Homo-oligomer: A and B are copies of this chain.
């Protein structure tokens, strides 16, 4: 019921999407909004790309390599940004992004 070869990657993308969106929604409620501009932008961007990647992989896209690379780059950027902040929602987002980037890279790596 799932593209077996991409199962781990799909799950990592969906966890990352959830963490990014949670961070996005939480950031928009913070008092110190101005310092979170990039965080707001990148969490939404990364959530979109993770969601797109998961859906694409689940339909066994012929462009898995390119989509996983794109997703890994978005996760890198989002992890870097969230790593600058001490908010309770930024740390788990950073971790989910780092894990997703790693799994995306290994999912399509040539042996």
Contacts and interface: CB of A to CB of B under 8 A. Distances in A.
A1 B28 contact: no
Dominant SS among interface residues on chain A: helix
B2 A22 contact: yes
A61 interface: yes
B70 A25 contact: no
Contacts of A51: 51, 54-55
Interface residues of A, number: 46
Interface of A: 1-3, 10, 14-15, 17-19, 21-22, 24-25, 28-29, 33-34, 37, 40-42, 44-45, 47-49, 51-52, 54-56, 58-63, 66-67, 69-70, 73-74, 77, 92, 96
Given A45-B61, A63-B70, 5 more contacts: A51-B51, A63-B73, A63-B74, A63-B77, A66-B69
